[in-house]
Amino acid sequence: MPAQLIDGNALAKKVRLEIATRTAILTAKGVKPGLAVLLVGEDPASQVYVRNKVKACEDVGMHSILERHPADLSEDKLLQRIAELNLDASIHGILVQLPLPKHIDSHRVIEAIAPEKDVDGFHVANAGALMIGAPLFRPCTPYGCMKMLESIEYPIKGARAVIVGASNIVGKPMAMLLLQAGATVTICNSKTKDLPAHTKEADILVVATGKPKMITGNMVKPGAIVIDVGINRLPDGKLCGDVDFDEVKYVAGAITPVPGGVGPMTIAMLLRNTLRCYALNSTKES
Ligand code: GUN
């Protein structure tokens, strides 16, 4: 029997509805929650992501600005703009879309964002807080993955979780969240020897590698929960994940589709984090 489908669109819709209601209440009281999204350069995938992020804010009634900067913007100019947004009372959350062009040091840029406006949760202060189990903001993609696991009431405590991909955006924070939820966690990376030996042990398998369909049916434990973070465009124009969905759906117990899985949940969690930024910053304005 094919796996249960974890429907990210349906789950995200519920979250967005709840956020729209809370946003309407806050707006009626005075200041609208506001998000600034900064894009540097013309990476086609990033352009789609930032448009979706800003549109999602508008749809729930939040204030949002999308700033597109040319690929040759200097690091100093970007840092200066972030400093202005840190002081802008109408902006509660700041998101700089990654990756940045090579001449810009993304660590310096992330560190320039005020930690209480860091909706992504990427600032070292926020990454550190997550690591010690006291997160201010959970990075949006791993946060969305956790909500998807919660939605199927999967017993995470004691489960073996394997994450394929060790990025700061997904793999590492995902490991922290699963660890805090009581899983036994393995993070695999591009140097991992005998990857299938690890993935086949997973009760929960989270894949974020950017390699289309790299996880095949024979790499998955029967009944496992498979969360596919990847979104790749194939030469024929179709989208696919890092998991070979057509094979793995006959092995897994539950699986997220691509598109319509983790992507919409990432955006829903961005909205939730923006509200959290608002709650942290609005006391300063009143
Ligand atoms: N690039 C890919 N995913 C993300 C994300 O969650 N936040 C930012 N800022 N950039 C990204």
pLDDT of residue 241: 98
CA torsion, ordered 247, 249, 253, 258, to nearest 10 deg: 120
Please choose from 98, 113, 118, 271 the residue to mutate so as to test ligand 1's pocket, defined by most ligand atoms within 8 A of CB.
98
Answer whether 169 contacts ligand 1 (Cβ < 6 A).
yes
Residues 262, 145 contacting (CB under 8 angstroms): yes
CA 103 – CA 265 distance, rounded (Å): 31
Question: Could you confirm whether 120 is annotated as catalytic?
Answer: yes
Instruction: Output the six-digit token pair for 165.
Output: 């991909």
Closest CA to ligand 1's atom 2: 98
Give phi and psi for 216, each to the nearest 5.
-100, 170
CA 272 – CA 267 distance, rounded (Å): 9
Give phi and psi for 215, each to the nearest 5.
-95, 115
Per-residue pLDDT tens listing for the chain (286 residues): 799 999 999 999 999 999 999 999 999 988 899 999 999 999 999 999 999 999 999 999 999 999 999 999 999 999 999 999 999 999 999 999 999 999 999 999 999 999 999 999 999 999 999 999 999 999 999 999 999 999 999 999 999 999 999 999 999 999 999 999 999 999 999 999 999 999 999 999 999 999 999 999 999 999 999 999 999 999 999 999 999 999 999 999 999 999 999 999 999 999 999 999 999 887 654 3
In DSSP notation, 74-124 reads -HHHHHHHHHHHHH-TT--EEEE-SSPPTTS-HHHHHHHS-GGGBTT--SH
Give phi and psi for 96, each to the nearest 5.
-105, 115
Please choose from 94, 96, 120, 265 the residue to mutate so as to test ligand 1's pocket, defined by most ligand atoms within 8 A of CB.
120
Answer whether 146 contacts ligand 1 (Cβ < 6 A).
no
CA 122 – CA 112 distance, rounded (Å): 11
pLDDT of residue 284: 54
- Roughly how many angstroms between the first and final C-alpha of the chain, as a whole number? 56
pLDDT of residue 201: 98
Amino acid at the residue 50? V
CA torsion, ordered 96, 55, 140, 65, to nearest 10 deg: 30
C-alpha 98 – ligand 1 centre gap (Å): 5
pLDDT of residue 90: 95
Instruction: Output the six-digit token pair for 154.
Output: 């999967």
pTM here? 0.97
pLDDT of residue 285: 46
- Evaluate the CA torsion angle 151, 155, 158, 162 in order and state its sign: negative
CB-based burial of residue 238 (10 Å sphere; 0-12 exposed, 13-18 middle, 19+ buried)? exposed
pLDDT digits (tens, 9 = 90+) for 196-247: 999 999 999 999 999 999 999 999 999 999 999 999 999 999 999 999 999 9
pLDDT digits (tens, 9 = 90+) for 28-43: 988 899 999 999 999 9
Amino acid at the residue 61? G
pLDDT of residue 286: 38
CA 50 – CA 167 distance, rounded (Å): 20
Answer whether 98 contacts ligand 1 (Cβ < 6 A).
yes
Long-range CB contacts (within 8 A, 24+) of 98-103: 98/169, 99/43, 99/46, 100/40, 100/41, 101/40, 101/41, 101/71, 101/72, 101/73, 103/72, 103/74, 103/75
pLDDT of residue 129: 98
Residues 230, 200 contacting (CB under 8 angstroms): no
